[in-house]
Chains A and B, each alone.
Chain A
Amino acid sequence: MSRIRAKLALRGNGTLRSMSAHVLWRRILMIVPTVLGVLLVGFLLIRLAPGDPVLALAGEHGDAAYYTFMRARFGLDEPMATQFVTWVRRIAVGDLGTSYVHGRSATAVILERVPATLLLTGTALCIAIVCAIPIGAFASQRPYAARDLAVSGASLVLYSAPVFWIGQIAILLFALRLGWLPVQGMTDAGSTTYGWPRALDTARHLLLPAVVLATHEIAVLVRVTRAGVVEAMAREHVRTARAKGVSERAVLLRHALPAALLPVITVVGARAGHLLSGAVLVEVVFGWPGMGRLLLAALQARDLPIIMAVFLLTSCAVVVVNLLTDLAYVLRDPRIRLR
């Protein structure tokens, strides 16, 4: 590999001083064995778990000949190793297989649902970041005072409550009792609007599930921000700033909070996978037409091509988010280098 060191100069505060291109490439290439490992484990878990997809497809009745016919049709009569090799070969040429239930390409089935999940999880993540950092900073200003205890208590409650329960309570309160927001779906039923009216309709339907999905993340990020700021406030550079007469607000926003954001970035990256798993429950409760619901239905029906395609997509997404987190780390702190 070329040893050319690329100076990835950034404008503005110029934090990413130098990072080897080959290091970046190495990180990207690491995605391949990681994803392959995830796929192998996923394949074995699904295939070794009890439950026959053909029985699920046939439902009641059927006969032995029907099951034999369907197994041969889906290649399920082959040895497991052959099935895995065939499947990996197909993936190599971009074919994720055909869904047993949908009778269509698994890629097409999933891609139809990805935008809805991205919209939900992306909005939830934004809500979590926008809410959690100020709240965490607010709590950290008076450690162990009433405001800190109140925020910590609220975080604990939010983190402990199951997301589906929060969802049901939110629906009962904001949709049924107050009538402010819709109960379910991504748009009004039968809606034929386009453009801005549709965007507004979608935003109205998005708010409640996104906030519910964000609750766990808010709870975690508040705690991390609060702890990070309290720790940063005790550091020498903060003491120096104070000695120089910098105001408390400036100390917080310019000196303590930036230092406290490093662990927040780490947690945000690490929680990406968690957010996707939370989306499964939220999508079910709110009837949100995303990938999580598809995965749940596919697991129940043992629709292997769909399950494995979702595994592939989510594992890639998590690995990419982790890489972006590393890059963000470097951007945030010029002393850190990727090795």
Chain B
Amino acid sequence: MRPFSLAWNSWVNREKQMAGDPLPFRGRRMAQLAVSLAFAVVLAGACRDEGSERSADSLVAALESDPGHLNPSITTNGGIHTAAGLLYDGLVALDSTLSPVPSLAERWEILEDGARYRFHLRAGVRWHDGSPFTAADVKFTFDSLLLRFHARTRASMSQALLRIDALNDSTIEFVFRRPYAPLLQQLDVVEAPIMPRHLYRGSDPLRNPANLSPVGTGPYRFVSYSANSEIRYTRNNAYFGALPSLRHVTLRVVPDAATRVIALEAREIDWLFSVPGPDRARLRADPGVRLLQASESPGGSNCITTVGFNLDRPWFRDVRVRRAFAHAVNREQFVERVLFGDGRAADAPISSHIRFAYRTGLPVPGFDTVRAAELLEEAGWKRRGSAVRVAQRVPGLPDGTPLSVGFTVMGTQSTYGELLRAQLRVVGIDLRVIALETVVFAQTVFTERDFDTAIAAYCNGTDPEIGVRRQYVSSSIAPVPFSNMAGYRNPVMDSLFDAASRARDRTERRRLYGEIQALAVRDLPYVWLVETLGTRAHVARCRGFGRSSHFAATARCDP
């Protein structure tokens, strides 16, 4: 500042001497005022008062976007679930093995071979405004909110569910048309947050003021919501579970990923829900920062990044071409170069994190470019000295057609396309990468089915019924995002999924999902690339962070 100020004054003085100074005092004073103001602001920044430093009982977490509202029961939007998760509870919670443990429901009984579930609610639970929590809240939440507006709960449960009965204030029953095995995996705070009936009854849930001043039963209570800036919570001292250590949690909206990381390095932020791959090495080297990996997030858990073939296109009707495609893919390179090590090569159609259903030892085609070339030759795709193979007696295609296929990706996943393009070129497949905005991708691939191959992160959820079924059953060939992208039809597959959804016994379900995976590997409508993990980062002074939605409830921080 000083050199600038001196230079300015010297210029003003020199000009003044040269010119008889028509505005002698005003110009200098203006300059000094401007310099002083700038200096004062910078000085203010350098001399932050002690009061602005965070105490040991508060935490600042970064959100990627402004949620808009805080009602997770009317949307599957991951940002809203991330922002609002601390305020609410589900009937059950899921432990680290995805097994249900009591939450708002203290215990439960499974009756009629899984066609009827009876939940006994915890006594003495109150909403943040002091009203008592009852079975009527649960019934209202499902009937009026989740089964109408929560796309995932509606799509997965509404066909099977017959009715929900509140037997008394503390007992509620779910009655299904047929045995329904995955219910307990669908009742945690992400899939089914319970909302207060007394605030939503008789109103339009999409416009209810409680969406912006929410009332829940969760470990934290709402304090304030400053649009596009921050949301503040304080500890719910009447929480029925273990009392959180942190008294205050602030969720700060920082949309730019690089800025979020820098804010953590500058200690303006204590917790990041995700860290971009290129920044992880830098954060690992920072002794004041710790990284965590998790396969779950409110936006979707246990995700497998998957390449789907459009089976309606003549190129992919022959399974040998799909198999050649799979052999040409080096999955380890994707883990290393795209995920920066945070994930694993997928070796089954179901995520390895759903332990009861995941099957090992499947004959998934491994990286083998020689075998890929052989299969393409067998299928009629010949390499006649050119880089790209051409068709020779391939059904549905004129001879000489080049093996040049489109690869539709969301803009955020274009790095997958670049690497896959390089890998497939080795075996004579030309991949044209078509990067689209997320909503346009959904419309192009799932609604219009205007693609050759495409890539999507299929989040399996906590049970194959939630996130795997939709990829394979023929009834999911519909204009619905992240449904049966390949357009795969197999009556055997349909019946296996139906049987797995009915089977109450886990051993039986495990056997059925094993068969499902073997069939999927045989028919290969998809290539399962990588299982992705989310990397969280937090300041080293804090520890004990919990699973995604209630992440701060078990955390504690040093001063």
Residue from B212, B226, B250, B440 with most neighbouring chain A CB atoms (10 Å): B440
**Inter-chain contacts of B285 with A (CB < 8 A):** none
A294 CA / B42 CA spacing, docked (Å) = 29
Which residue of A has the minimal Cβ distance to B52?
A188
A174 CA / B314 CA spacing, docked (Å) = 57
Q: How far is the CB of B220 from chain A (nearest CB, A)?
A: 13
Q: In residues 269-302 of chain A, which contact B (Cβ within 8 Å)?
A: 284-287, 289-290, 293-294, 296-297, 300-302
**Inter-chain contacts of A3 with B (CB < 8 A):** none
The answer to whether A59 and B151 have CB atoms under 8 Å apart is yes
Give which listed residue, A101, A179, A294, contacts B266 with CB less than 8 A: A179
Which residue of A has the minimal Cβ distance to B446?
A55
Evaluate whether A182 and B442 lie within 8 angstroms (CB atoms) in the complex, with A66-B155, A112-B227, A176-B262 already known: no
The answer to whether A66 and B228 have CB atoms under 8 Å apart is no
A92 CA / B479 CA spacing, docked (Å) = 36
Across chains A and B, the number of contacting residue pairs, with CB separation under 8 Å, is: 216
The answer to whether A99 and B228 have CB atoms under 8 Å apart is no
Q: Is B60 an interface residue (CB 8 A)?
A: yes
Q: Is A311 an interface residue (CB 8 A)?
A: no
Q: Is B22 an interface residue (CB 8 A)?
A: yes
A180 CA / B439 CA spacing, docked (Å) = 40
**Inter-chain contacts of A175 with B (CB < 8 A):** 262, 266
The answer to whether A55 and B443 have CB atoms under 8 Å apart is yes
Q: In residues 152-182 of chain A, which contact B (Cβ within 8 Å)?
A: 168, 171-172, 175-176, 179-182
A289 CA / B254 CA spacing, docked (Å) = 9
A186 CA / B208 CA spacing, docked (Å) = 28
Q: Is B415 an interface residue (CB 8 A)?
A: no
Q: Is B478 an interface residue (CB 8 A)?
A: yes
**Inter-chain contacts of A51 with B (CB < 8 A):** 437, 439-440, 443
Q: How far is the CB of A109 from chain B (nearest CB, A)?
A: 7
Evaluate whether A249 and B19 lie within 8 angstroms (CB atoms) in the complex, with A61-B76, A287-B252, A287-B253 already known: yes
Which residue of B has the minimal Cβ distance to A101?
B68
The answer to whether A103 and B206 have CB atoms under 8 Å apart is yes
Q: Is A248 an interface residue (CB 8 A)?
A: yes
Contact with A along B216-237 (1 / 0, CB 8 A): 0000000000111110100000
The answer to whether A184 and B263 have CB atoms under 8 Å apart is yes
Q: Is B492 an interface residue (CB 8 A)?
A: no
A116 CA / B439 CA spacing, docked (Å) = 29
Q: Is A190 an interface residue (CB 8 A)?
A: yes
A190 CA / B62 CA spacing, docked (Å) = 12
The answer to whether B152 and A62 have CB atoms under 8 Å apart is yes
Q: How far is the CB of A134 from chain B (nearest CB, A)?
A: 8
Evaluate whether A52 and B41 lie within 8 angstroms (CB atoms) in the complex, with A61-B480, A103-B207 already known: no
Q: How far is the CB of A111 from chain B (nearest CB, A)?
A: 10
Which residue of B has the minimal Cβ distance to A306?
B68
**Inter-chain contacts of B76 with A (CB < 8 A):** 58-62
**Inter-chain contacts of A113 with B (CB < 8 A):** 227-228
Contact with A along B52-70 (1 / 0, CB 8 A): 1010001010000110110
Interface residues on A, range: 35 or more
The answer to whether A59 and B75 have CB atoms under 8 Å apart is yes
Residue from A51, A62, A116 with most neighbouring chain B CB atoms (10 Å): A62
Q: Is B396 an interface residue (CB 8 A)?
A: no
The answer to whether A182 and B45 have CB atoms under 8 Å apart is yes
Q: In residues 31-45 of chain B, which contact A (Cβ within 8 Å)?
A: 34, 38, 41-42, 44-45
Identify which of A200-208, A221-229, A327-335 touches chain B.
A200-208
The answer to whether B230 and A190 have CB atoms under 8 Å apart is yes
Give which listed residue, B152, B155, B268, contacts A182 with CB less than 8 A: B268
**Inter-chain contacts of A103 with B (CB < 8 A):** 68-69, 206-208, 211
The answer to whether B19 and A61 have CB atoms under 8 Å apart is no
Which residue of B has the minimal Cβ distance to A109?
B227
**Inter-chain contacts of B227 with A (CB < 8 A):** 109, 112-113, 289
Q: Is A183 an interface residue (CB 8 A)?
A: yes
A289 CA / B442 CA spacing, docked (Å) = 29
Give which listed residue, A53, A190, A200, A203, contacts B60 with CB less than 8 A: A190
Contact with A along B166-177 (1 / 0, CB 8 A): 000000000000
17 A-B pairs besides A175-B266, A181-B42, A285-B259 with CB distance below 8 A are A58-B481, A60-B300, A60-B467, A62-B481, A99-B68, A130-B34, A183-B263, A188-B52, A189-B268, A190-B250, A207-B38, A207-B41, A247-B18, A287-B253, A297-B65, A297-B66, A300-B438
29 A-B contacts, Cβ less than 8 Å apart?
A55-B443, A55-B481, A57-B77, A58-B76, A59-B76, A60-B459, A60-B467, A60-B481, A62-B152, A104-B69, A104-B212, A113-B228, A116-B228, A175-B266, A180-B45, A183-B268, A184-B252, A185-B229, A185-B254, A207-B45, A248-B15, A248-B19, A250-B19, A252-B19, A253-B22, A284-B255, A293-B66, A294-B66, A301-B439
Sorted from nearest, which 10 A-B pairs have the closest CB atoms?
Answer: A249-B19, A247-B19, A62-B151, A289-B228, A51-B439, A289-B229, A61-B152, A190-B250, A247-B20, A102-B68
